Amino acid sequence: MPSDQPNEPDSRRSWVVATVGAVAMVFTFGTPVSYGIFREPFSEVFGVSSVALSGVFAVLLFTFFIGSGLVGVFGVRFPARGVLLVCAFTTGVLAPSLYVVDSVVGLTVVFALLGLALGTVVVLVASVIPRWFEARRGAATGLIFVGNGLGLFALPPLWQFTLAELGVRRGFLVVISVSAATFLLAGLVCRRPEWVEQSTATTGEILAWLRRLGGTRTFQLLFVGMAFAFAWYQLLAAYAVELFAARGLAESTASAAFGLVGGVSIVSRIGGGYLGDLLGSRRAFLASYACVGLGVALLLIPFVPAMLVAILLLGLGLGGVATLYIPLLMSVFTSEKDTAVVGVFNVGGGLGALAMPLLGTASVSYGGFTLAISLTLVIVVVGLVTIALGTA
């Protein structure tokens, strides 16, 4: 049961902080993954080619994953509340920016700053909120990543509806303003708890820490493993709908089937958190990741029943992995540099996110679905083995 003492872990105040963080997380990942929805309406309004817009959205993904990861690393000595409020302010300023931007250069600046703000909110929320908990850390992390999953599920159709009904400039203003409001609330509520020591490391000390960290076998194994722990999903996304359609599903049904992976993961994010509290983050994480491997392997069987079981297993595994990787990292590395640890591994995940879509498309083009699925399975197995060894 939650403690009545507000300045203790697992208190009611802790759950308030986690709930506010979960709401903010809804408006983070969902916007970067909606770039496919932005392409056509933005091209028409701004007279920019699809190729040029692809470059703009590549910058968005780069700053969202890698830029924010670097902010997490070098911003660890700053108060989390202050950094979140800067993100809220930046997002609020960007909300009406499309009324004054009229070139591809301007769009690049807008989306670069937006990606940086959104990604930094993810890093801060994901690293700070678990510090409010001890006994229920897994469940709390599951709660905030339910917000993440809801964003992946709800934001793309919300963007599509808003841009169609309100137009590009007004639609962008509305959605980004709401995002800024949730970040503002997070900035006011989601600070580091009083019992957690604030890092005072200088830039030089952080660089020295990174050099020491990079030279350890544990970090090397986990950096590769955690990058692969999410790279498989980016790779699968490049060909899943096409695969499901080739297996006999209608195009709309195939899209819904892939969306079901994310839908199932929303439920398993909470379940994964409770499983982590019960079994320990390492065992629960590896069990979730094993579900992913089994699900990918079942995709090699060209029958619809096997495919449906695979979708269920992939969703269960994705939710568990997404929820448990933060508690797992916090159990391995020093807690004083919480945002720096999450930031470093966010960079690894970003490198995978940028490379996997192209790799997935190329593998299907040159070797068909069997090659693409086999490559996905190899990535899962390598990630599973390296994480098991890195946390042994």
Residues 3-16 pLDDT 10s: 555 667 778 888 89
Give me the mean pLDDT over the 131-140 stretch.
79
Run of H or E including 68: helix 68-74
Q: Output DSSP code: residue 198.
A: P
Report pLDDT for 276.
77
CB–CB of 319/269 below 8 Å?
yes
For the cut 80, the answer to whether the pLDDT of residue 62 exceeds it is yes
* Residue 9 phi, psi (nearest 5): -60, 150
Most confident of the following: 104-108, 248-252, 293-297:
293-297
Give me the mean pLDDT over the 239-253 stretch.
80
Report pLDDT for 5.
56
Please state, in angstroms and rounded to a whole number, the distance separating the CA atoms of residues 299 and 95. Answer: 42
181 versus 159: the higher-pLDDT residue is 181
For the cut 80, the answer to whether the pLDDT of residue 139 exceeds it is no
Report pLDDT for 29.
82
Whole-structure pTM value: 0.75
Of the listed ranges 41-55, 74-88, 326-340, the least confidently predicted one is 326-340
Q: Which amino acid is it at 326?
A: I
Give me the mean pLDDT over the 185-206 stretch.
78
Q: Which amino acid is it at 289?
A: Y
Tell me, rounded to whole angstroms, the distance of Cα 149 from its chain centroid. Answer: 9
- From 38, 28, 113, 62, select the one nearest 322 (Cα to Cα): 28
Report pLDDT for 381.
95
Within 8 A by CB and 6+ apart from 199, the residues are 76, 77, 336, 337, 340
Mean pLDDT of the chain: 84
Q: Which amino acid is it at 117?
A: A
Report pLDDT for 76.
67
Q: Which domains does the chain have, with CATH numbers?
A: 12-189 (1.20.1250.20), 208-390 (1.20.1250.20)
Q: pLDDT tens digits for 107-130?
A: 999 999 999 999 999 888 888 888
117 versus 281: the higher-pLDDT residue is 117
Please state, in angstroms and rounded to a whole number, the distance separating the CA atoms of residues 232 and 359. Answer: 11
CB–CB of 287/328 below 8 Å?
no
- Diameter of the chain measured on Cα atoms: 61
**CA 126-341-64 angle, 5° bins:** 60
CB–CB of 37/159 below 8 Å?
yes
Percentages of the chain per state (helix, strand, coil), in multiples of 5: 85, 0, 15
Q: Output DSSP code: residue 1.
A: -
CB–CB of 179/94 below 8 Å?
no
DSSP reduced 3-state for 3: strand
Report pLDDT for 197.
67
Report pLDDT for 198.
63
CB–CB of 64/350 below 8 Å?
yes
Give me the mean pLDDT over the 186-198 stretch.
80
Please state, in angstroms and rounded to a whole number, the distance separating the CA atoms of residues 281 and 289. Answer: 12
**CA 119-120-121 angle, 5° bins:** 90
Residue 207 has, within 13 A of its CA and on its CB side, a CA count of 3
